[in-house]
Amino acid sequence: MNEVFEYIDLRNQTHSTYNKLLRLDQRDYPEIAVREALLNALVHRDYAYSDSTLVSIYDDRIEFVSLGGLLPGISINDIMLGVSACRNPKLAYVFYRLALIEIYGTGMQKIMNAYTASGRTPQIRTTDHAFKIILPNLNANRPLVLRDREMSEDERAVLDLARTQGKIARRDVETLLDTSQTSAGRLLRQMAEAGSLLQQGRGKNTRYLIPQ
């Protein structure tokens, strides 16, 4: 379990945007959602099956698939209300004693709560013999260019120049804004980190363009 979590965590990247002077960092997946989905896949699977539990990482989502559907008489709506029908009570008790499970029946709600303010919703799919949790990547398909109200006048001017020329260099920004080499370079780096511009090349050959 620890090895799988660390594997996912290494691939759970952090992306940054800027709102004026404020830097906003956001990981692809909320850690608590990953933790709860992994615990669910291990504690509630049907170990009468010998096949593996699957954790599949895509560009826009992570899927956790465990064998064993919902227990008879239990629906997805019941689970979302906090109903806990444990297939492996002894295993669940071990995880509880290890402080990995706090209160039975709260895992799904924690996953959903982790996405409340994101505008994206985890998906749950079941069959008679399998249970799947899909966690959406919070940074996938995120608009690369900051909204105008979040940009300074200098940033908007740089973007307009990039659209007109196709590509721009630091010297173009120095001339456009009548600013120093250091200030122009800092602004371009910030815009590249925020996703407003795409950097190509290095050193004297560095150019910036509008992401497609």
Confidence of residue 203 (pLDDT cuts 50, 70, 90): confident
Q: Where does the chain hold its CATH 3.30.565.60 domain(s)?
A: 2-136
Which CATH number is associated with domain 148-209?
Answer: 1.10.10.10
Amino acid 20: pLDDT: 62
- Per cent of the chain over pLDDT 90 is 42
- Compare 77 and 48 and report the one with higher pLDDT: 48
pLDDT digits (tens, 9 = 90+) for 151-190: 788 888 998 898 888 889 999 999 999 999 999 998 998 8
How many whole angstroms separate alpha carbon 33 and alpha carbon 55? 14
Percentage of the chain modeled with pLDDT above 70:
91
pLDDT tens digits for range 20-43: 667 777 889 999 999 999 999 999
What is the pLDDT of the chain when averaged over all its residues? Answer: 85
Angle at 28 between CA 24 and CA 31, to 5 degrees: 95
From-to residues of CATH 1.10.10.10 in the chain = 148-209
Task: Say whether pLDDT at 144 is over 50.
Answer: no
| Beta strand spans in the chain (E) | 14-19, 22-27, 54-57, 61-67, 123-126, 130-136, 198-200, 207-209
What is the distance in angstroms between the CA of the first residue and the CA of the last residue of the chain? 39
Return d(Cα 74, Cα 1) in angstroms, integer: 26
**Band of pLDDT at residue 105, cut at 50, 70 and 90:** low
Architecture label for domain 2-136: 2-Layer Sandwich (3.30)
Distance, in Å, from the CA atom of 39 to the CA atom of 36, rounded to the nearest integer, reads 5
The structure's pTM equals 0.64
The reported pLDDT for the residue numbered 145 is 45
- For the record, the structure tokens of 95 come out as 């995880």
